[in-house]
Amino acid sequence: MVYKVAIAGVTHGHVSAHLRDWREVPDVELVAIADANKDERQKRVASYQGSPLREYDSIEELLEKEELNVVTVCNETSDHARVVELAAAKGVHCLVEKPLAFSLADAERMLAAAGKYGVQVVTNYPTRWGGRATARALEFVKQGGIGRPYEVRHRGGGTKPRAIDANAFFRWLYQPPFNGAGAFADYCCYGADMAVGILGSPSSVYAIAGRWQRDDLITDDNARMLLQYQRAGAVIEGSWSQFGHLPFSTMFLGEDATLAIGDKGAVLYNAQNEKDGGRELALEDMPVVAEEPSLPTHLIARLARGEQVVPSAGIRHHRDVAEVLDAGLRSIRSQEVVRMPLPLPLMQAADYR
């Protein structure tokens, strides 16, 4: 079977990776691309080194005219739920660029659409694919490599262009109605994904965010989150004003060992080796979650076998990640600790008028 795939939206900068990854997947034909921004859309088409892509001015037109098996959703985060609902209603599986959503209500809409129409809705975090150490480290920890984990620490950061110099990607990324926030939405989602994957959903969330360094933005350039568990915690940081990269951006602390990953690779510290600087771990020293090199390849392999994707890419996990992000935004606004779980956003008749 040849799977027909299309790109829905090109505003997310990671769409370039999707175009590259889909080209490498066996038994897949990337057939079309849709976005209202003609210049940006054609720029992506011109960069694609595969068979010609049909172009559409709207995602609705794409879904109406093409017979598809999978759609890659790379538009604004605020519009993910609408696109997933449209695609799912036509029986089309959805691969959504991170994060799935910044509101629990949107995540619940996509969870319901997946269940109603029997499609898979999966979320792509680049850190979990492409031979990255992060994916193997997470599995190493889950399989008991550091004993009982009691803390997850993650910092994501870098510099971004000035707002006046922003391209199409940054223009929406800098707008809270579309992105959810600024550095909080862009970088703290990675830490939330890891914390939920290792520790589950927290009992409470406290977050702060502010424009600490940049005057050209209307949103936050730095954000911090604290996730509380009964016997564990997570510290998550995001920055749009950080120069350089820390040697270790992520740490998993356990009762038996600490695993640190970053620019120096992966290093395991325990009581026997900590004075000697720990022990470097090669990728082969840590287990794989899935054999495939990318989420597109993994999704097609699972669809061909009639199986679900690994839980870390699935809708239920990323619904829980979205709940943590939603709680963080509520905490930022209220300047208070937000208890979990959040109230389920049951739809009312007025929501459909």
What is the pLDDT averaged over residues 33-38? 96
Whether pLDDT at 168 is above 90: no
What is the pLDDT averaged over residues 213-241? 97
Which of 109-123, 143-157, 235-249 has the weakest average pLDDT? 235-249
- Domains of the chain with bracketed CATH: 3-127+292-314 (3.40.50.720), 131-290+325-331 (3.30.360.10)
Model confidence pLDDT, tens digit, residues 320-340: 999 999 999 999 999 999 999
Nearest to 310 by CA among 323, 325, 294: 294
What is the pLDDT averaged over residues 140-167? 95
Q: Is the pTM of this model over 0.85?
A: yes
Residue pair 71/290 in contact by the 8 Å Cβ criterion: no
What is the pLDDT averaged over residues 55-83? 98
Instruction: Give CA–CA dist 51/40, Å, rounded.
Output: 19
Instruction: Give CA–CA dist 17/54, Å, rounded.
Output: 19
Whether pLDDT at 348 is above 90: no
In what side-by-side order are the strands of the sheet with 70-73?
Answer: 54-56, 28-34, 3-8, 70-73, 93-97, 121-124
Bridge-based pairing of strands 222-228 and 204-210 is antiparallel
Whether pLDDT at 246 is above 90: no
Amino acid at 269: Y
Which of 59-68, 125-134, 184-193, 293-302 has the weakest average pLDDT? 125-134
Q: What is the pLDDT of residue 258?
A: 98
- Percent of the chain past pLDDT 70, that is, above it, reads 98
Instruction: Give CA–CA dist 7/50, Å, rounded.
Output: 14
Beta bridge partners of 71: 6, 94
Instruction: Kindly list the distances between the CA atom of residue 84 and the CA atoms of 64, 77, 99, 194, in Å, as whole numbers in the listed order.
Output: 14, 11, 14, 24
pLDDT band at 102 (very low <50, low <70, confident <90, very high): very high
Q: What is the pLDDT of residue 132?
A: 85
Q: At what angle do helices 189-199 and 133-142 cross, to 10 degrees?
A: 30
Nearest to 33 by CA among 65, 1, 3: 65
Residue pair 85/280 in contact by the 8 Å Cβ criterion: no
- Percent of the chain past pLDDT 90, that is, above it, reads 89
What is the pLDDT averaged over residues 85-103? 98
pLDDT band at 117 (very low <50, low <70, confident <90, very high): very high
Q: Which residues of 18-52 are buried (b: 16+ CB within 10 A; e: fewer)?
A: bbebbeebeebebbbbbbeeeebbeebbeebeeee
Residue pair 139/289 in contact by the 8 Å Cβ criterion: yes
Q: What is the pLDDT of residue 352?
A: 56
Instruction: Look at residue 204 and give its three-state secondary structure.
Output: strand
Q: What is the pLDDT of residue 312?
A: 97
Whether pLDDT at 350 is above 70: no
Instruction: Give CA–CA dist 151/149, Å, rounded.
Output: 6
Residue pair 190/239 in contact by the 8 Å Cβ criterion: no
Whether pLDDT at 86 is above 80: yes
Instruction: Look at residue 125 and give its three-state secondary structure.
Output: coil
Q: Please tell me what DSSP assigns to residue 342.
A: P
Which of 10-19, 233-242, 274-283, 343-352 has the weakest average pLDDT? 343-352
Q: What is the pLDDT of residue 282?
A: 94
Residue pair 50/23 in contact by the 8 Å Cβ criterion: yes
Q: How deeply is 114 buried, as exposed, middle or buried, from its count of CB atoms within 10 A (0-12, 13-18, 19+)? A: buried
Model confidence pLDDT, tens digit, residues 190-204: 999 999 999 999 999
Beta-carbon contacts of 180 under 8 Å, excluding residues fewer than 6 positions away, are 77, 78, 99, 102, 103, 325, 329
Give the length of the chain: 353
Which of 110-119, 183-192, 261-270, 334-343 has the weakest average pLDDT? 261-270
Q: What is the pLDDT of residue 199?
A: 98
Whether pLDDT at 264 is above 80: no
- Look at the alpha carbons of 162, 102, 126, 235 in this order and tell me if their dihedral is positive or negative: positive
Nearest to 94 by CA among 123, 55, 125: 123
